[in-house]
Amino acid sequence: MPRVIVIGGGLAGLATAAALSSAGFEVDIHEARNFLGGRATSWPAGGEDAETIDNCQHILLRCCVNLLDLYKRLGVERKIRFHREFFFIEPGGRISTMQRGILPAPAHFAGSFLGLKFLSLADKIAIARAMNAIPRELHARADLDRITMLDWLREKRQTPAAIERYWRQVLVSALNEELDRMAASHGFQVFWLGMIARADSYEMGIPDVPLRELYDEASLTSTGAVRIHHRSSVTAVDAAGETVTGITCADGSHTADYYVSCLPFERLQILVPGLPVEWNAFEHSPITGIHLWFDRPITDLPHATLLDRTIHWMFNKREGR
């Protein structure tokens, strides 16, 4: 079988290894740390016997077919619990719920959308007008990569409240970027795939187990086609001209028929400085996760989006505490 070296054992590296091994390749993953998952990982809070805490809350929607495919390959798809309701909490505590009704897509949200208390009638009319435009313009417009989502929303005469409490709340959570920095095409993709195309594609999946249990090494290596090298930090990528010939780690050199980098851009720049890439064009957009423990239950909601706040989402990890 042809051999592939995958550099990096984060989510991208795991997906690469799972796909290539099922396609008949032998895969060696070289990961600098002693566990897989990259940023999608967990750690014990306070010691080995303490509670395991996820690095940040990781979720998916049913439209995330590639991630769902990875979970099926790893045999962990039953460890994801899907939720059909989205809860919106206003300052003061008033709650609105959005969920699909009996109508088929794309009208499946009609009933609950009309009942959202945090939007006025003018907000809802503006949002409905823009939502109806997305399917028409998705493949018809050639400028969606050149304009921002905020440009498009203003073009569609969205009210300030509609932008802040609906469009921004959904899109910044999904894409982790501000409306005036994301291309309209990306915003379209979120709403088309997640909210319009299918009635169940919006359902939100939350892992029932810590992330370290979700990205199970035993499942990945069960076929024998994947080998994992922990604490195997790549210190150099060896090349002859424009062809990669091997990698160098602390334990020596390794070669394969093919090489795939699944490293963050700043790590790859150090290893392959001669690549004709404009590295300054890349930057990180980090997520901040805050973990709070209470001495009594404070909510029975499984999750909620918080309106008019710096914090966008709340997740109930254990019995409302």
pLDDT at 318 over 90: no
| Chain mean pLDDT for the chain | 93
- CA–CA separation, 60 vs 11, rounded Å? 13
Mean pLDDT of 283-308: 93
Tens of pLDDT along 206-249?
999 999 888 878 878 877 899 999 999 999 999 998 899 999 99
pLDDT at 161 over 70: yes
- Same CATH fold assignment for domains 3-79+208-281 and 99-202+308-315: no
| CATH dotted code for 3-79+208-281 | 3.50.50.60
Phi–psi pair at 181, nearest 5 degrees: -120, -10
Domain boundaries of the chain, sorted by first residue: 3-79+208-281, 99-202+308-315
pLDDT at 273 over 80: yes
Q: Got the DSSP string for 83-111?
A: E--EEEE-TTS-EEEE---SSPTTSTTHH
Tokens of residue 195, six digits: 């909210």
Cα of 242 vs its chain's centroid, Å = 33
- Calculate ∠ Cα 237-38-284, nearest 5°: 80
Tens of pLDDT along 165-207?
999 999 999 999 999 999 999 999 999 999 999 999 999 999 9
pLDDT at 57 over 70: yes
Sign of the CA dihedral with 118 first, then 120, 121, and 124 last: negative
Using 50, 70 and 90 to split pLDDT, how confident is the model at 48?
low
pLDDT score recorded for residue 222: 77
Q: What is the DSSP letter of 221?
A: H
CATH topology (fold) of 99-202+308-315 = Guanine Nucleotide Dissociation Inhibitor; domain 1 (1.10.405)
Identify the weakest region by mean pLDDT among 52-56, 105-109, 253-257: 52-56
Using 50, 70 and 90 to split pLDDT, how confident is the model at 156?
very high
Task: Count other Cβ atoms within 10 Å, centred on residue 281.
Answer: 7
pLDDT score recorded for residue 46: 74
Closest CA to 156 of 173, 178, 190, 179: 179
Mean pLDDT of 54-63: 92
pLDDT-above-70 percentage for the chain: 99
pLDDT at 47 over 70: no
More confident residue, 117 or 49: 117
